Structure 1
């Protein structure tokens, strides 16, 4: 999963040359003049408890392009043409041994493929430091996932979930989009892209789906963190415990598949601790969910303790730069 986040960031900020697919699409050719500014992007390391816990499982996603939409509806698109050495960015385990990623007429790969379960992956950090982006207010970012097959003996899909020998096509519910963004880039900024992988990949009626939930882009200057210890008596056992974070004006506390899904979740560790990083400045409720491991994203209204006797904090204000200690 680290790979997808890094790749999205890299394609977001790397200046290069790209194509145009419509009147409102801008070529991603950013100059060094007054209409562009440098930004840096950090990466929030993904959790290690992503389900299912199968060392041989792969979740390969073929990323064709990233699109940014500004307030006027103009679209800036980045493809592999915008990347440095895109041939080296893909997770090689996703590509069949007797196949390769197809290329366009100029020899550029048509996509890069990332194994979401490979959290070590390809090091792309150097691509996202002090890169130039056009000045403007951005309201939406979308990630285009390519469907297709390599044409090998097993007809391996470009995007799939499965093992090396048992691959199942991964359906994209919608184009992966950060809706409702309000990022005004007019001075040098540092952002962090974070996610909750439990909400991203869901098994619904035997098929895997990749969804928008769980993806966040945070301005570092306006974010803080929450951490704490879990009392050993708070739950019958902390092995299945999670901590859920909700906005304080939420109508109710819902599970991962509901209309009122948490802003983010954190697994309680073996040391009975939890950590939530890159929390946007604001007011939140913090709820301990003793049986959170049972909270499957594709099932709604499970019998989990969200509004009952679980330990919680309400209306907690997180300030920028603050690391708020909240034991449960």
Structure 2
């Protein structure tokens, strides 16, 4: 199987493997593979390496809720294979904190929810949440993969208790950043174009994301920043992890570890707002003074400890961030497929 060719950077996880027949959740005609045959595909979502808030205690805390309506694959001829929630893993549950009190997710005639809503700040604490399990896809060349988001606003039940503040929760979109009361809509699908995926055997494709740089605000609505996402073949990835020496930073409260693709010519490191040499992935240093980066594509990397990384903002160049100083780093480290590489800093 040929490798995935892409130009995107960094850390949502989409996976592909397993085996079963297609279902009525496929909204579009199954494309003719030409060569014949089908192979199983699965799709999931991964928790990022960057530390994020715990599950909100109520609807007034920050959330990043995405209402996933379907998963789509597009082949060279422009034909689409689409799986809706009828194909999704029944064990995947929506994040209850995303659904305003007194409302519920709309359903099809058979009672199947029309979308699954996931709070990206809380992917249930596991590395991989399977959305699509063991669905068949025709053998062939595919050029695009997308998570399609549901559009619309929550409606409220007729028989609500008198203590439910409906007026405060009116107009809550299915996908949003913020809270039930104060939010902005996510008006975008997460699409990976320009791919070259030759699906001819069971494989697992992983989509990872970085919370710190995944959204941009455009005309009062949030759009996904493609450079904050990466699509990779799980079988061609590894992981990087390590402990942080307490003497490496004055304090590790604001510390992050940045991952860069190695530059053979010289060490060049940009921050989250840079136009070039941006990090491929960032990982927050934990309270236990360690870090972890799962699902890193095999390749050569520089790993840099950034003691003041919390000050790095994705929408501006932060000249005060120390990236080129004497901070501990590793240069041109080779990561092999399936390798768990330990790099203490």
TM-score interval w.r.t. the shorter chain? 0.7 to 0.9
- Among residues 10, 16, 21, which one is paired with 2:23 in the alignment? 16
Structure 2: unaligned runs, 5 residues or longer: 1-11, 157-165
What does residue 243 of structure 1 align with? Answer: 257
Q: Deviations over 1:38-88 (max 9, x none)?
A: 3466764334622699653322222222221223332222222333559x7
Post-superposition shift, 1:315? 1.9
What does residue 183 of structure 2 align with? Answer: 168
**SS of match in other structure, 1:62:** strand
What does residue 333 of structure 2 align with? Answer: 316
Superposition RMSD on alpha carbons, in Å?
3.8
Q: Does 1:220 align with 2:234?
A: yes
- Among residues 71, 75, 82, which one is paired with 2:76 in the alignment? 71
| CA–CA distance in structure 1, aligned partners of residues 86 and 16 of structure 2 | 12
| CA–CA distance in structure 2, aligned partners of residues 123 and 275 of structure 1 | 12
The structure carrying a bigger helix percent of its residues is 1
What does residue 298 of structure 1 align with? Answer: 315
What does residue 273 of structure 2 align with? Answer: 257
- Among residues 292, 295, 303, which one is paired with 1:275 in the alignment? 292
Q: Does 1:26 align with 2:29?
A: yes
**Change beyond 3 A, Cα 1:50–1:125:** closer
Question: Are 2:85 and 2:115, in contact at CA under 8 Å, matched by a contact in 1?
Answer: yes
| CA–CA distance in structure 2, aligned partners of residues 311 and 215 of structure 1 | 26
What does residue 97 of structure 1 align with? Answer: 101
| CA–CA distance in structure 2, aligned partners of residues 302 and 111 of structure 1 | 42
Post-superposition shift, 1:248? 1.6
Post-superposition shift, 1:217? 3.1
Count of aligned pairs: 314
| CA–CA distance in structure 1, aligned partners of residues 24 and 17 of structure 2 | 11
| CA–CA distance in structure 2, aligned partners of residues 42 and 61 of structure 1 | 14
| CA–CA distance in structure 1, aligned partners of residues 23 and 56 of structure 2 | 38
1:43-192, aligned counterparts within 5 Å? 44-47=46-49, 49-50=51-52, 56-83=61-88, 85=90, 89-104=93-108, 108-120=112-124, 128=132, 130-152=134-156, 153=166, 154-164=170-180, 166-172=181-187, 174-192=188-206
Question: Are 1:10 and 1:83, in contact at CA under 8 Å, matched by a contact in 2?
Answer: no
| CA–CA distance in structure 1, aligned partners of residues 155 and 45 of structure 2 | 34
**SS of match in other structure, 1:258:** coil
**SS of match in other structure, 2:310:** helix
Post-superposition shift, 1:203? 6.3
| CA–CA distance in structure 2, aligned partners of residues 296 and 206 of structure 1 | 19
Question: Are 2:45 and 2:207, in contact at CA under 8 Å, matched by a contact in 1?
Answer: yes
Question: Are 1:170 and 1:210, in contact at CA under 8 Å, matched by a contact in 2?
Answer: no
**Change beyond 3 A, Cα 1:207–1:69:** closer
| CA–CA distance in structure 2, aligned partners of residues 95 and 193 of structure 1 | 25
| CA–CA distance in structure 2, aligned partners of residues 275 and 124 of structure 1 | 15
Q: Which has the higher contact order (CA 8 A, sep 6+)?
A: 2
> Structure 2 length normalisation: TM-score?
0.75
